[in-house]
Structure formats: structure tokens, C-alpha cells
Structure 1
């Protein structure tokens, strides 16, 4: 094992005196004769001389080695000479020592001189420490040696301080919190790596910005007081909670910032030491607990109202069912008297036409027309009441086939109007076939009804589809409408034209709206007056099961 005893930096000729003196002393302590001492010291001096003259940043390290029964003095001369073979002292030194070894590592070259010695005493750790202390206790023989010794001590202390600082930085960087120190004027003088990693800012940037880009605006005033040494000078420790922005996530997270003074032996302030630790999870828990308390109060109120709401819903369901039954029964029961009014009005008008004056005929025509409108209204009300979500049967429906069958049902009306129908391919979706047929029939009837006078209707049916939805567009060249009336077009009994102009009850589009709602879709329209209208129906490809 190799044990270092003493070092000598090689800067000038005066260092050769130290080299020779300490080499002689080591050889003397090893029990060598005077001639052997001189031989070892001469070899070390020759190599060291060349390092002083031609090397760079040279250093002599005197060591001792004890491997098994072999004891050796080792002089290691280290410098930044790249070609040690040019050292003229090597050949001479090689003849004086037992072994000479040259090695290079990076930009440094090491020349090692080995000299065996026959020390009778046991070379143990105690003996080695005794030799090391002997070198350290030597009195300086010249002012130069004294100055050099002090300088080496200062360099050793500086290295230890540097090592200590490195250990401190390693320690603070290993802790998962932000650690920093402030000068007396509140500026950052040190921060571990976590500060720059979290904020993306350097110490200089934070000192310039005063942390404004990092601290949440609502928390900045309190945080600024923490960093003000004039405000906090009398405090033992100060803490503040604030939100800091994470540069990677661009999100603010709650932190606890703490600051404590570091004072000297006299009690004077040297600087401030602080840390910032993440407490976001804790704040979230606190806020959650607060919210939970508020939610509990709301929950208690909701439970109180839930019984009332459930009772109201039950009453509404009963009322809705009764209304549906009433609408259905009323529609059926009204059919018979309306048929009789229509029949007897028509019979009376035809049978006794010659016996009735013109005014009477007008009355009879009015009764007959009103009874027909009433029958249409009853049929539409019956149709509206029968559109019920509970009665739906969803299955795969070929929309194109349903559209063609609907056109066949309306063939007479289409021929009468001389209408042209352009039908693009339509997909298959999950729907209730009878309701879709009714939806298409109402939309087509609407386009045929509101055709422009003296112009044959042209109706285009197209479709845009994706993976989840389809949009069917039914465009016509009819009279159109002002879009300001669009919000009320799909509600019950809303009509944009008088019955004298266009026959109807105002229920057709309301039925369309109800059918589309049951299919979880939507319906709307775009138009301008005298420029036709386009009805757009959006439906899901597949109905979601509830």
C-alpha cells in the first residue's frame, strides 16, 4: 500500500533545496546510510530539476510503500511535460535507484523513483503517521521555505473549502427542495439547481426581475416582503405561502417559502438562508376539505329538495301520461262528429243547392272548409301524440331506401307539382324506421307545399357522413323564409303564412323536431326569401344505450 508523506511544489531553483532536504530526511528516517541517503536525494533532485526547468505545474510527492516484506521509498514527480524521454536526468537517476517508472494520464506525466530500504522496525500506520508529523513539524531553514509552507497551507485550506463547497452544493442539489441564500440587500447569492429547473430562470434573471415572472400576482406582495431585508431584519425566521410558476408545465403550484438569518459570533448578520418546498398537494387537500364541508351543506339541502323534486316528477309523469291519453282519446272521439259535420254540410250543399241563396251557400262552404281543417288538425295532433320515445324501436335502417319509399307514397303530389327530386346515396344508421319515414315525409311535404308559383319544385337530398354522425340536407327552390323566424318554426302551431295562402296546422315541423330529439339529433334550416330553403338534419350513426 502506498502512503503519501509530504509534497513539494516545483516552481524555481530554491525548491530544489527543499527537494534535496526532504529526500535526505525521508531516507534518514528509513534507516539508510549517509551514502544511500545522498544517492536517493540526488536521483530525486535530478528529475525535479528538469521538471522545474522544462515542465509545467510540477510537484514532488514523497511516499513510502510496504508490500509483503519489501519496503520502498517512492518519489513521484508529476508535471505536464508531454515528452518525458527528453528529460536528461532520467538516465542518470535510473542508475541511482532500484526502479524508475514513467506513466502518462491525460495531460499529466508521472515519473516514479523506487528505492528499497531495510528498516528493522515494523512499518505500520503508527510509524507512518510519526514520519508525516515529523515533516510537518520541521522548522523552516529560510524565509522562502516559511513563505512556501504558509502558501501550501493556504492552498490546502482553499482546496478543503472548495471541497466543502462542492459537498454543500451536492447535498443541496440532492434534496428535492429549492435552497437559496440572500445577501443583506435581498439579492440572491446562491441557489441550488432546483430553482432554475423549476422556474427556468438564472440567479441573475431573478435578481433583475425581482421574481415577478415567477410568483403569482396575487401572492407577490407577501413574497416581496419576505425578500426585503429591512422589513425582516428583526425576525428569527419568516415564512410565507405563495404560488410559483413551473416553467415546463406553465402552471402555478403552491409553495412554502422560509427565510432564516445566519449571524456571526458577534451576532452580526452575515446573510439569509432560505428554502422553498412544494405544498401544493397539502393546499389541494385543504381546499378539498373546505369544499367538502360546503358540499355537505349543499348535499343536505339537496336531499331535502330531492324528495320534493321526486314527488313533482312523479306528478309530472302522471300528468304527461294523462295528457297523452287525453290527446289520443280526444283525437279519436272528435273524428266522428267532424266527419258528420263534413258529410251533412256537403250533402246539404249538393242536395239543396237550388233552394239556398248565395249567402247560405257561402256559410255551408265555410262550415265544410272549417270541418276539413279541423280533421287535418286532429290527424296532426294524433300524429304528434303518437311520437313517443318509449315506443321507439331502434334498428339498422337504410335511409336511402326509406327516402325512396316515402317518395313513392307521395307520388301523386310529386306528379301534380311536376317536381324533380335529386337523391344522392344515403347511409344506413341505427334509428326507428317509422319515425324516420314520418320525418322525411314532413320535410318533403313542406318543400312541395311552399313551392314558388309557376316554377316546378326542385328538391336535392344530399348527405355528409363521418364515423359518428351524418348530416342530411334537403334543399328546395321554393319561396323560402326570413331566418329571423327560425327559432319558432319548430314549435307547436307556429305558421309563417295564413291559411288562405298555404294550408297547414303548424304541427309538421314540430313533429320533425320531436322525432329528431328522440334520435338524439338536431334539425335546423337556412334560407332567404324567394331563394329556397335548406333543412339540415343531423343524426348519430349509432344510438347510445342508456
Structure 2
């Protein structure tokens, strides 16, 4: 079928249009006036019945394709009702046409009226196209017909617009990016499904919050440009980058935002069209490259600083060693001659002179001890260590032998549990035990013999030594500074010492990849805790 004209059937005026256009079609194909009237009458009868009994009826006028070398003009009356009621008009129309066909489905019924075109009248496709134009451009014979034609045109245009919009939505929803349009105040007019799927929010929600709920707080101020009509009014294109919150993961992902104006023929902006594309992978890659570059720069600077620090440390160690070593000889002479002067000439000195000489001797002894400890401290980092398997119990006994006189003098009791073997430097371990035991002996309570307990814990990888005493203790707020050079919690008049003993202990534990700390309360004793690995990497 080649459709030429269509008439909706709603009232008597439509019935007149149906009759008029049926007559016109019959005239165009060359039927006689009586044949024209016969065909139009048949169409009118069925159309009247459709208007009276149908729901949504329409008439479609067509020319059939050749059927056994015969051509027909065809009037098809369609209705959304499953079956039109048959009446006298139906029977009368049957007798007026060459063929009368009735068909129906669940949603529609159709009655087709076929009227034969004389064989002498040749009809080509070009001629049929001209008839189409004729029906479209035919001037209306009444205001009703003009209104109806305009209405049909509007309905056709609306259908095309709806089809175009559906195609646009299908296209934009299939694209792997967010597409939207906004007015000059930044209010969203349209957005594809990508926006709601990514953010989990509707257009209404985003308009209400002005995107605050989905744009990263740091990026919102630049993004808010889109809501500023004064800035937007002078722009031709706006591009920016911002982080958009993913509804599923809660993660903010980088997006490139681009918007451009849509203008009318006078250049006035109707609205803005924009898109958002995910560039998070690109941003992560760029940040990684930047971080790697900065890391290399930091690493290079750090290596330079480490080299400079090592050089400085070596120079300081050399200076400390040389200074300590060279100072010992003059200090020995000062002590020797001071003692000689006190023994031989004390009778010749008055009380003040004798007191001054004794102060000088005491200061000389302190200086000798300080130089000795400073030399020991500098040598901890300077010597070549020999990590070997040591019997710590034996090392502890050697330390006790070195401190035998002080232990006897103070009537001290020292209990040492059986200690396991570890890999360590023999001389440094001996010095560690000596310093910690000597420290416990020094800070005992006046009038009470010192009691020192040395115990341990062993988890197979780390040995923890506990040096516990019942001495005067200390306030733990001073713990951080106790292991620093020359730090003392008590005056020299109360307790002798140079302030280097515990600093040396910390240096020894660090050389052995261990650590030292302590816990205590004033007047309730102290416990020094040394943690050392059982095995040293690269030990021999």
C-alpha cells in the first residue's frame, strides 16, 4: 500500500472530510463521477459507524500495488477497539465496493474497502508522489479543516520531536561520559543516565545542593564558576578539572569538565551544553611521575646529606680521639705533681692553700675520668667490631671482677640469672655490663647495701636483659635525656660521674642493632632494659 492521505474520525466534520478526500482520490485515479460517489459513499458509511461505535478511529486512503495486474484505491478504517460493531451501513458498503476485508487483533480492528481502478488508466510512482503533495498542500475548505490539519501537523511534529529526543537520549546514555545541559544560573536542565549512575543523585537533588554533595570540597570554588551567570555570560567555552564523588565507592575521582553555549540566530545564549569525562587514571599517572621525580630529588639530597654527615662524624670522632688521647699525658702530670706537692709540702701550706690543692686534685681526677669516657665513646663507632658467639654469663662475671673493689666496699649483692649465648662484640658487651652495674652501684640508697638483679627474656630472636636495682630511682619525665651526652640528673657533689656512661651504653646497643630504655619511680629503684638480637647479620 502507498498511503496518500489520513483523516482522524471523531465527529461529523471529520466525516465530511473523509467523504471529500475519498471523492478527490477517486477523481485522481480517473473514476467516473458515479464511481467517485459510490466509493465515497461506502467510505462514509463505514466511517460513520466507526465514529459512533469506535474509540480512536482514523481513515487511511491508499493506492494498492498491482494485484494480478489490477490496481485498487483502498480506504482502511482503523480503530483501537478489538472489533467494530457490524450494522446496516457495513452491509450497504460491502455492496458498493469490489472487495470488503475485515481483520482484528487484540489491540486493533481494520476494515478495508477496495475499489478497482480502470485498466485503461495508467498510474506511475511519479504520479502517486504528486498526489501525495496535492493532499498535503490542498487548501482547506473550512476553518475546521484548517484547524484539524494544523493539529495533525503539530501531532506529527510532536511525534518526530519525541522520536528525536528518544534517539538523543539513547545516544547520550550509550556514551562513556556524563552529558548535561544547564541554564545560565547553573541549574541542570538535562543529564544522561551517566550522571545519576555515577553520583547516585537525581537532577533535582543536584540542583538543590548546587553539586556540593558530589564535588570535592577543595575543588568546589572553581566549579562554582558554572553557577555564576555574570562570568558565564561572557564566556565561549569553559574547561576545568574537579573530583567527583563515586556513589558506589565513596571515592572522589578526577573528571575533565567542558561546557559550551548554545545560541539562537541572534547570538543570545539559550543554555549551556557540557560533558564530564573520567581522567582519574591520567591524573594518578601524572601524580606518580611527579612523586617519583620528587622522590629522586629527595633521595639525591638525602644521599648528599648522609655523605656530609658521615664525613662530619668521622672528623668529630677523629678529633675526640686525638683530643682525648693527647690530653691524658698533661692530666697525668697534673695529678702526679699535685699529689707530690700535697704529700711533701702540705705542712708548708696554710689551711686555705691545702684546701685549694685538694680541690685541684679532685678536679684533675674528674678530668681524667671524663677524658677516659670520651675516648671510650669515640672508639665505639671507630673500632672494627667482631661479632661472635658469646657466653653472656661469662661476660657478666668478667664485668663483676673489674668492679670487685666497689662491690666489696658497698657490700653489694648481685644476682645474675643464667644468660643465653648471643652474637656480639666481646669488649663492647663487657663495657655495657660494667657501665650498667656501675650505674646501679653508684645510685644506691644511703645506708643500704645495693641489691642488683640481672635477668632476661628470650623469644628466640631477641634477648631482653633487665638490670634491676633498689636504688634512688628517677623521675621518668627525664628518660629521654638520660642517654644523651653529658646529661646528669644529680650534681657532682651528690654523685660522681661524667654523664657519658649511659650514652656509651646506648651507642653499644645501637652498634648491635638493639635498643636501651629504662623505667623507674623516685626512691623505688630503677630497671634498665636492653634488647639485643640473638644473631647479627654478617656475624663471624
TM-score normalised by structure 2 residue count: 0.60
Question: Is 1:188 equivalent to 2:187 in the alignment?
Answer: yes
Change (3 A) 1:471 1:204: farther
In the other structure, the counterpart of 1:497 is 490
**What is the rounded CA distance, in whole Å, between the counterparts of 2:205 and 2:25 in structure 1?**
56
Alignment of 1:102-141 (within 5 A): 102-104=104-106, 109-112=107-110, 126=126, 129-138=129-138, 140=140
Tell me if structure 2 keeps the 8 A contact 1:335–1:378. no
**What is the rounded CA distance, in whole Å, between the counterparts of 1:9 and 1:42 in structure 2?**
13
Give per-residue Cα distances to partners, 1:366-414, cap 9 Å, x unaligned.
999989877765664444233228845789x8xxx97666555557789
Give per-residue Cα distances to partners, 1:167-202, cap 9 Å, x unaligned.
56666775957653435xx46362434777788776
In the other structure, the counterpart of 2:381 is 388
Please give the secondary structure, in 1, of the residue aligned with 2:147: helix
Tell me if structure 2 keeps the 8 A contact 1:476–1:534. yes
In the other structure, the counterpart of 2:523 is 530
Change (3 A) 1:520 1:128: farther
Q: Residue 153 of structure 1: CA displacement? A: 0.9
Change (3 A) 1:139 1:232: closer
Give per-residue Cα distances to partners, 1:339-361, cap 9 Å, x unaligned.
x969xx89x99xx9xxxxxx9x9
Gaps of 5+ in 1: 353-358
In the other structure, the counterpart of 2:502 is 509
Q: Residue 150 of structure 1: CA displacement? A: 1.8
In the other structure, the counterpart of 2:322 is 326
Q: Residue 493 of structure 1: CA displacement? A: 3.1
Alignment of 1:249-268 (within 5 A): 260=261, 262-264=263-265, 267=266
Tell me if structure 2 keeps the 8 A contact 1:8–1:59. yes
Question: Is 1:77 equivalent to 2:56 in the alignment?
Answer: no
**What is the rounded CA distance, in whole Å, between the counterparts of 1:240 and 1:68 in structure 2?**
63
**What is the rounded CA distance, in whole Å, between the counterparts of 2:465 and 2:15 in structure 1?**
102
Question: Is 1:150 equivalent to 2:164 in the alignment?
Answer: no
Quote the RMSD (CA, aligned, Å).
6.7
**What is the rounded CA distance, in whole Å, between the counterparts of 1:474 and 1:411 in structure 2?**
14
Tell me if structure 1 keeps the 8 A contact 2:6–2:61. yes
Tell me if structure 1 keeps the 8 A contact 2:391–2:421. no
Change (3 A) 1:113 1:492: same
**What is the rounded CA distance, in whole Å, between the counterparts of 2:530 and 2:57 in structure 1?**
91
Change (3 A) 1:337 1:476: closer
Tell me if structure 2 keeps the 8 A contact 1:212–1:220. no
**What is the rounded CA distance, in whole Å, between the counterparts of 1:242 and 1:541 in structure 2?**
59
Change (3 A) 1:311 1:122: same
Tell me if structure 2 keeps the 8 A contact 1:77–1:112. yes
Q: Residue 452 of structure 1: CA displacement? A: 4.5
Q: Residue 509 of structure 1: CA displacement? A: 1.5
Please give the secondary structure, in 2, of the residue aligned with 1:387: helix
In the other structure, the counterpart of 1:355 is none
Tell me if structure 2 keeps the 8 A contact 1:23–1:40. no
Give per-residue Cα distances to partners, 1:289-347, cap 9 Å, x unaligned.
xx9xxx9xxx9xx99xx99x99977974663463365378659x869969x969xx89x
**What is the rounded CA distance, in whole Å, between the counterparts of 1:89 and 1:180 in structure 2?**
54
In the other structure, the counterpart of 1:271 is 270
**What is the rounded CA distance, in whole Å, between the counterparts of 1:255 and 1:139 in structure 2?**
55
Alignment of 1:340-379 (within 5 A): none
Q: Residue 15 of structure 1: CA displacement? A: 4.4
Tell me if structure 1 keeps the 8 A contact 2:380–2:508. yes
Change (3 A) 1:370 1:111: same
In the other structure, the counterpart of 2:245 is 247
**What is the rounded CA distance, in whole Å, between the counterparts of 1:543 and 1:270 in structure 2?**
77
Gaps of 5+ in 2: 345-350
**What is the rounded CA distance, in whole Å, between the counterparts of 1:28 and 1:246 in structure 2?**
68
Deviates more, 1:251-260 or 1:162-171: 251-260
Alignment of 1:410-489 (within 5 A): 417-419=412-414, 442-443=435-436, 446-447=439-440, 449-452=442-445, 454=448, 456-457=451-452, 461=456, 478-489=471-482
Change (3 A) 1:310 1:36: same
In the other structure, the counterpart of 2:229 is 227
**What is the rounded CA distance, in whole Å, between the counterparts of 2:181 and 2:489 in structure 1?**
76
Q: How many residues align?
A: 492
Tell me if structure 1 keeps the 8 A contact 2:182–2:271. yes
**What is the rounded CA distance, in whole Å, between the counterparts of 2:457 and 2:179 in structure 1?**
64
Please give the secondary structure, in 2, of the residue aligned with 1:481: coil
Q: Residue 529 of structure 1: CA displacement? A: 1.6
**What is the rounded CA distance, in whole Å, between the counterparts of 1:9 and 1:389 in structure 2?**
109
**What is the rounded CA distance, in whole Å, between the counterparts of 1:390 and 1:27 in structure 2?**
123
Alignment of 1:198-217 (within 5 A): 216=219
**What is the rounded CA distance, in whole Å, between the counterparts of 1:45 and 1:182 in structure 2?**
49
